[in-house]
Amino acid sequence: MQAIARLRQGLTIERREAKFKRNAAGWTLVVLNSLAALNSTFFFLTALKSGVVGWLMINTCAPSIALFVIGSLLACLLLASRAATQ
């Protein structure tokens, strides 16, 4: 039990110290992934005229990028609300 408490304390301290770096890297990934998904969506829907079903069959990474962006935004909101309550 003491080892778990020490691990939690260490992770809490690490989170406080690395907050800005983690946020900057996270936002960079969100922006780059969003741009890549928009680029591929534009290509498949306009240049190839594949339609939505063809786009989803060929480019399955775009919906997963959308899930990543939504999860990242939700995590950011949760962390901000948690920090506001402390």
Is the pTM of the predicted complex or chain greater than 0.85? no
**Residue that has been written with the tokens 């190839």 in this structure:** 48
pLDDT of residue 10: 59
pLDDT of residue 1: 64
pLDDT of residue 39: 92
Q: Is 65 exposed, middle or buried (0-12, 13-18, 19+ CB in 10 A)?
A: buried
State pLDDT tens for residues 21-71.
Answer: 567 788 888 999 999 999 988 998 899 898 888 888 888 888 889 899 998
